[in-house]
Amino acid sequence: MTVDVDPRVALAAETKFRLVDCDIHPIVRSTADLRPYLPKAWHDYFDQFGNFLVSPYTEAHPYPKPTPALSRLDSWPPNGGPPGSDLAFMREQHLDPHDIEIGVLQVLWPTAARQRNLGYAAALCSAINDWQAEEWLAKEPRLRGSIMVSLEDPESAAAEIARCARRGGYAQLMLMPRNMEPLGRKKYWPIFAAAQEHDLTLGCHTGGLNGYPVTGGAGHCSYYAEEKDAGGYPMEAMLTSMVFEGVFQSFPKLRLVAIEATMGWLPPLYWRLDELWQRFRAELPAVTRPPSEILREHIWVTTQPADEPEDPRHLRDLFDWIGWDRICFASDYPHWDSDDPRYALPVQMSLAEKRGIFRDNAMRVYRLG
Amino acid sequence: MATEAATLSPVHAITGAIDVDLHPAVPDMAALLPHMHPHWAEQMVVRGIDALESVMWKATMPITARPDFRGPPGTQPGQSLERLRAQALDGFGTAIGICNPLWGTAALFNEDMASELCRAMNTWLAREWLDREPRLRGAITVAPHAPDQAAAEIERCAADPRFVSVLLPAMTEMPLGRRSHRPIFAAAEKHGLAVTIHAGGQYRHPPTVTGWGSFHAEDHAAQANIFQAQVLSLVYEGVFVDHPSLRVVLLDAGIGWLPSFLWRANKTWRGLRAEVPWVKRSPSDIVREHIRFSLQPLQGPPDAQGMERLLEHIAADHMLLFSTDYPHWRFEGQAAVPPQIPARLLPALLRENALETYPRLRPSDRPRAALPEGVNRPAP
Amino acid sequence: MARHVVMRAAELPAGESRVVTVRGREIAVFNLAGEFFALINRCPHEGAPLGLGLRIGLSESNKPGCYSHSRPGELVRCPWHGWEFDIRTGQSWCEPSRLKARAYAATRETGGALVKGLYVAESVKVAVEEEYVVVEV
């Protein structure tokens, strides 16, 4: 396959650029780290009840992960604490050697956004947002935070978005795709209104459990290998819901990044929705043009875990279908399935294409420039 | 896009095809009563049980019937043999058509009731359709949550060589690969029946992990992911290790998602294969050997160039089986094979792939007997 | 190719591994019950340091639900994505013919034998009565 490169673009592009990594996972050394950031009124709850999710376990996962702490074995900080808990080691192992210009933090644990006790969820979200600001953003100028909100409590979420937006330092509003209802439904719209008002990108990171089968209508599967590959399904459901309900039509400035769900599902979703739309137009008054046209204006994807076709040239087809300006590199450091930017996308790319994927696209979608 | 449409070849001429996805409709419960055990026939009447129309295929929705395939008002699309014969068989020059009735018999929670209604529908299919039209073949509908009764029903119907497949829903209580379902696959393999999985089904869980959506269109969009989950379940649970000659056909699944799904599955398997050590080959190898796809709906690239790319990614022209999905509205006019499908695929697509997939469509010297009334009926 | 003395055999107990640098290359040396093996310290997938991977056994099955476990400690599981490599050959479990971690010949030899032949010992002082691990690079 030949690669068509506009020589003017290639020449104009800098030959060296630093990286933007859209998915870095910091974590508390222990949940006790968050206690000081919680209002006193929640301290007894924190001590006695604490983490309360839709799960059979307090901490473990019913689809056990393949590595301890879900992480690369070489990412445990030498000074103790779980992977991702030590800023100095993160600098040494990841930010410095890969010359990361900006890294977007995604906090997965403890899962504040999905606490069953909504009051605690809101308090924990605020605590994690403050913890990010104090422990990470204030200490490392290369990092940007994610605003955590309790999605099932849109009013408090909107207030928290406003609070964090005033504070600054956050690149995105973090969403979780496995919600209790499809994300386009009206009850979530106050969140979108707040995100648009504060010009915040929506970052939707895969993962979490909500009690429904991760397969959706097929029922509960047995293996982590199945659960892992099911990570993209809710992204598709979420985007389908959002475009069918008219979220992007009503909030035209929204930008959404689908994070850690691979990329290959996106073009087939476009094809499928466009075909279905022709039959369901009477049901979908908010959709006045092909769904793919609407989504293409609002959706970005991150690269990890990198799609690995046997023939790497097929990646170029995928990128052509998605749009080269819509793809942003993510490492997922320090998790077990993280990608090394030097090897993750073994496909011929022009310098301009590389620069887009590894830096410029993320700078644009997150307004980092 | 207009410029791309202009480059598409004209409508493909089709003749002598095997259509693997036709949907004759059960008009109402009364049609099944003559084929039911007296206990259950009485239950249907005294409890007023009827109208098992699937929510996925509500008769009045545009997708359920192309306008010209729709019968007179008040009838179920697909309930008339005469119309199906003229439109689906004569209309596309079809040599053999496989009937997959979608009435929701398998979605009832009561295992015995669901199994009995499936039995009645299978007998109805033999009497009302297969007996009356020699070009038709049938799928054996079973309730997956009653695997032993399902296997017994497969045994019963397998005596009739016109039944060529087993029909399972994509939406299930538990993924089909899970071990409790194994008697179904064992019976299918034993009798040379392809196992087919059709979009829609039991609705035991929200169609997607994000809960119940607002629109029918969301349920239809969710099917691709549900199929992916079913394929992973079949592969990882080792169904094809236990049943190496089994063929599975995904009906109404679309094909656009297949390549990137396989990339993902292969990568995941490389890292996690010790969790399922009986899976000794890559998921893509297993899928390419055992799993096939009906053509409609395509849900792939709308342009010829994009379709060529996708077909290269799939790297297996033997995986697509011709279907019209009659009377569902998937295409216009005669374009049952979408114009972006290259002509070189036609011989395999129209016939050869189906013959390879459905052993019972192949000429054989097996003893043949039509399903006798009430044969081997297990006591409910 | 030259024979490099990389360590005293006693420094690497059975069941353990250590990464050494030979001619600028990082090499993971493994001691499997007294036999020594050497693999490049770089997963062919994305370059992860194989020497930091856990040494595991071979899980196999001929029937769903039945598990066998053999060759304890003879595979190394990549510390990132979990791909399994045979320490004896460098072959990956999933695609042994296509996907290999480069293997180097590693032997245990006495200092007495070594001094009779050609060898390189940049950082190891060789004594006649000791045993050494020798890697051909």
Name the residue in chain C with its Cα closest to that of B275: C59
Whether the per-residue pLDDT at B370 is higher than 70: the answer is: no
Cβ–Cβ contact B282 with A under 8 A: no
Query: DSSP character for C102?
Result: -
For residue range B127-136, what is the model confidence (pLDDT) as tens digits? 999 999 999 9
Q: What angle do CA B193, B199, B201 make, to 5 degrees?
A: 90
CA distance A353 to B29: 61
The answer, yes or no, to whether the previous bond of A110 is cis (omega within 30 of 0) is: yes
For residue range A332-359, what is the model confidence (pLDDT) as tens digits? 999 999 999 999 998 999 999 999 999 9
Q: Which of C59, C86, C92 to mutate to test the interface with B (most CBs of B within 10 A)?
A: C59
Domain that holds residue C96: 3-136
Q: Which residues of B touch C83 (CB under 8 A)?
A: 270-271
Domain that holds residue B221: 12-361
Q: Is residue A3 part of a domain?
A: no
Q: From residue B195, how far is each of B50, B144, B248, B275, B363 by CA, in Å?
A: 27, 12, 5, 26, 19
For residue range C13-67, what is the model confidence (pLDDT) as tens digits? 999 999 999 999 999 999 999 999 999 999 999 999 999 999 999 999 999 999 9
User: CB-based contacts of B233: which residues, under 8 Å, 6+ apart?
Assistant: A215, A218, A221, A222, A226, B175, B176, B177, B178
Q: Is residue B190 part of a domain?
A: yes
Specify whether the CB–CB gap between C95 and C113 falls below 8 A.
Answer: no
CA distance B304 to chain A (A): 13
Cβ–Cβ contact B186 with C under 8 A: no
Tell me the mean pLDDT in the region B254-274.
97
pLDDT class of B7 with cuts at 50, 70, 90: low
pTM for this structure? Answer: 0.95
* Mean pLDDT, all residues of chain A: 95
Neighbouring subunits of C (3+ Cβ pairs under 8 A): A, B
Q: Which residues 272-301 in chain A show a CB within 8 A of chain B?
A: 272-277, 279-280, 282-284
- pLDDT at res. A5: 46
Neighbouring subunits of B (3+ Cβ pairs under 8 A): A, C
Structure tokens at A140: 């490392």
Cβ–Cβ contact C46 with B under 8 A: no
Q: Which of A65, A67, A332, A345 to mutate to test the interface with C (most CBs of C within 10 A)?
A: A67
A220 to B170: CB separation less than 8 angstroms, yes or no: no
Q: Which residues of C touch A72 (CB under 8 A)?
A: 48, 79-80
B277 to C94: CB separation less than 8 angstroms, yes or no: no
Shortest CA distance to A172 belongs to which of A342, A340, A22?
A22
C81 to A336: CB separation less than 8 angstroms, yes or no: yes
Query: Checking DSSP bridges between strand B163-171 and strand B194-201, what pairing results, if any?
Result: parallel
User: CB-based contacts of A96: which residues, under 8 Å, 6+ apart?
Assistant: none
The fraction of chain C above a pLDDT of 90, given in percent, is: 82
pLDDT class of B376 with cuts at 50, 70, 90: very low
pLDDT class of C112 with cuts at 50, 70, 90: confident
For residue range B14-35, what is the model confidence (pLDDT) as tens digits? 999 999 999 999 999 999 999 9
For residue range A242-300, what is the model confidence (pLDDT) as tens digits? 999 999 999 999 999 999 999 999 999 999 999 999 999 999 999 999 999 999 999 99
Of A212, A271, A274, the CB nearest to B206: A212
Q: Which residues of A touch B203 (CB under 8 A)?
A: 217
CA distance A157 to A179: 14
- pLDDT at res. A134: 98
B238 to C84: CB separation less than 8 angstroms, yes or no: no
Specify whether the CB–CB gap between A298 and A248 falls below 8 A.
Answer: yes
User: CB-based contacts of B124: which residues, under 8 Å, 6+ apart?
Assistant: B26, B31, B32, B35
Q: From residue A160, how far is each of A69, A93, A146, A191, A317 by CA, in Å?
A: 29, 33, 12, 10, 41
pLDDT class of B346 with cuts at 50, 70, 90: very high
User: CB-based contacts of C42: which residues, under 8 Å, 6+ apart?
Assistant: C26, C48, C49, C50, C101, C102
Q: Which of A240, A260, A287 to mutate to test the interface with B (most CBs of B within 10 A)?
A: A240
For residue range B160-185, what is the model confidence (pLDDT) as tens digits? 999 999 999 999 999 999 999 999 99
SS3 C131: strand
Instruction: State how far Cα C63 lies from the chain centre.
Output: 32
Of B204, B218, B273, the CB nearest to A241: B218
pLDDT class of A7 with cuts at 50, 70, 90: very low
Cβ–Cβ contact C80 with A under 8 A: yes
Total count of domains within chain C: 1
For residue range A152-187, what is the model confidence (pLDDT) as tens digits? 999 999 999 999 999 999 999 999 889 999 999 999
Whether the per-residue pLDDT at A366 is higher than 70: the answer is: yes
| Domain CATH number, residue B117 | 3.20.20.140
Q: Is residue B3 part of a domain?
A: no
Total count of domains within chain A: 1
Whether the per-residue pLDDT at A121 is higher than 70: the answer is: yes
User: CB-based contacts of C89: which residues, under 8 Å, 6+ apart?
Assistant: C96, C100, C103
pLDDT class of A310 with cuts at 50, 70, 90: very high
Q: Is residue B301 part of a domain?
A: yes
- pLDDT at res. B9: 59
CA distance C80 to chain A (A): 5
Structure tokens at C6: 């990389």
A337 to C53: CB separation less than 8 angstroms, yes or no: no
The fraction of chain B above a pLDDT of 90, given in percent, is: 91
Q: Which residues of A touch B4 (CB under 8 A)?
A: none
Q: Which residues of B touch A218 (CB under 8 A)?
A: 170-172, 175-176, 205, 226, 229-230, 233
Name the residue in chain B with its Cα closest to that of C84: B271
Whether the per-residue pLDDT at B352 is higher than 50: the answer is: yes
Unique residue bearing structure tokens 């859209």: A22
- pLDDT at res. A229: 97
Polymer length in residues for chain A: 369
Q: Which residues of C touch B278 (CB under 8 A)?
A: 61-64, 66
One-letter amino acid of A51 = N
Total count of domains within chain B: 1
Whether the per-residue pLDDT at A44 is higher than 90: the answer is: yes
Helix/strand/coil (H/E/C) assignment for every residue in chain A: CCCCCCHHHHHHCCCCCCEEEEEECCCCCCHHHHHHHCCHHHHHHHHHCCCCCCCCCCCCCCCCCCCHHHECHHHCCCCCCCCCCCHHHHHHHHHCCCCEEEEEECCCCCCHHHCCCHHHHHHHHHHHHHHHHHHHHCCCCCEEEEEECCCCCHHHHHHHHHHHHHHCCEEEEEECCCCCCCCCCHHHHHHHHHHHHCCCEEEEECCCCCCCCCCCCCCCCCCHHHHHHHHHHHHHHHHHHHHHHCHHHHCCCCCEEEECCCCCCHHHHHHHHHHHHHHCHHHCCCCCCCHHHHHHCCEEEECCCCCCCCCCHHHHHHHHHHCHHHEECCCCECECCCCCCCCCCCCCCCHHHHHHHHHHHHHHHCCCC
Q: Is residue A1 part of a domain?
A: no
Structure tokens at A50: 């604490």
The fraction of chain A above a pLDDT of 70, given in percent, is: 96
Specify whether the CB–CB gap between B115 and B143 falls below 8 A.
Answer: yes
Q: Which residues 67-126 in chain C show a CB within 8 A of chain B?
A: 67-68, 78, 81-84, 92-95
Q: Is residue A5 part of a domain?
A: no
- Among A112-121, A209-218, B131-140, B364-373, the range scoring the smallest mean pLDDT is B364-373
A342 to C47: CB separation less than 8 angstroms, yes or no: yes
Specify whether the CB–CB gap between B277 and B233 falls below 8 A.
Answer: no
Name the residue in chain C with its Cα closest to that of A332: C80
Q: What is the ipTM of this complex?
A: 0.95
CA distance C48 to chain A (A): 9
- pLDDT at res. B371: 60
pLDDT class of B8 with cuts at 50, 70, 90: low
Tell me the mean pLDDT in the region A84-108.
98
How many CB pairs (< 8 A) connect A and C? 30
Whether the per-residue pLDDT at A10 is higher than 90: the answer is: no
CA distance C131 to C110: 4
Q: Which residues of B touch C61 (CB under 8 A)?
A: 277-278
| Domain CATH number, residue C30 | 2.102.10.10
Tell me the mean pLDDT in the region B291-310.
96
Of C49, C54, C81, the CB nearest to A337: C81
- pLDDT at res. C1: 81
A280 to B268: CB separation less than 8 angstroms, yes or no: no
CA distance A303 to chain C (A): 14
Specify whether the CB–CB gap between B210 and A237 falls below 8 A.
Answer: yes
CA distance A23 to A338: 9
CA distance A106 to A23: 6
Query: Where do the H-state alpha helices sit in chain B?
Result: 2-7, 38-47, 81-84, 111-125, 147-158, 182-190, 216-236, 239-242, 258-272, 283-290, 304-314, 346-347, 353-357
- pLDDT at res. A9: 46
Unique residue bearing structure tokens 């953003």: A137
Task: Count Cα neighbours of B209 within 13 Å in the Cβ-side half-sphere.
Answer: 26
CA distance B257 to B170: 16
Name the residue in chain C with its Cα closest to that of A340: C46
Q: Is residue B376 part of a domain?
A: no
Query: DSSP character for B297?
Result: S
Specify whether the CB–CB gap between B100 and B23 falls below 8 A.
Answer: yes
C80 to A336: CB separation less than 8 angstroms, yes or no: yes
Tell me the mean pLDDT in the region A20-29.
98
One-letter amino acid of B359 = P
- pLDDT at res. B378: 47
* Mean pLDDT, all residues of chain B: 94
For residue range A148-161, what is the model confidence (pLDDT) as tens digits? 999 999 999 999 99
Unique residue bearing structure tokens 């299919």: B125
- pLDDT at res. A8: 43
Sheet holding A256-259, edge to edge: A19-24, A100-105, A143-148, A170-175, A201-205, A256-259, A299-302, A327-328
Name the residue in chain C with its Cα closest to that of A65: C82
How many CB pairs (< 8 A) connect A and B? 259
C80 to A72: CB separation less than 8 angstroms, yes or no: yes
Helix/strand/coil (H/E/C) assignment for every residue in C11-73: HCCCCCEEEEEECCEEEEEEEECCEEEEEECCCCCCCCCHHHCEEEEEEECCCCCCCEEEEEE
CA distance A282 to A273: 15
- pLDDT at res. A264: 98
Phi–psi pair at C4, nearest 5 degrees: -110, 125
Q: Which of C46, C67, C84, C97 to mutate to test the interface with A (most CBs of A within 10 A)?
A: C46
For residue range B94-123, what is the model confidence (pLDDT) as tens digits? 999 999 999 999 999 999 999 999 999 999
Burial (CB count <10 Å: 0-12, 13-18, 19+), residue A167: middle
User: CB-based contacts of A71: which residues, under 8 Å, 6+ apart?
Assistant: A82, A83, A84, A334, A335, A336
Cβ–Cβ contact B31 with C under 8 A: no
- pLDDT at res. C125: 82
Q: Which residues 217-256 in chain B show a CB within 8 A of chain C?
A: 237-238, 241-242
Name the residue in chain B with its Cα closest to that of C93: B270
Sheet holding C131-136, edge to edge: C3-8, C131-136, C106-110
Of C64, C68, C78, the CB nearest to B237: C64
pLDDT class of C123 with cuts at 50, 70, 90: confident
- pLDDT at res. C58: 98
Which strand (E) or helix (H) includes residue C111?
A: helix C111-114
Q: Is residue B371 part of a domain?
A: no
C82 to A67: CB separation less than 8 angstroms, yes or no: yes
A344 to C46: CB separation less than 8 angstroms, yes or no: yes
Phi–psi pair at B204, nearest 5 degrees: -80, -25
CA distance A50 to A123: 11
Whether the per-residue pLDDT at B4 is higher than 60: the answer is: no
Domain that holds residue A287: 17-365
Q: Which residues 144-183 in chain B show a CB within 8 A of chain C?
A: 179
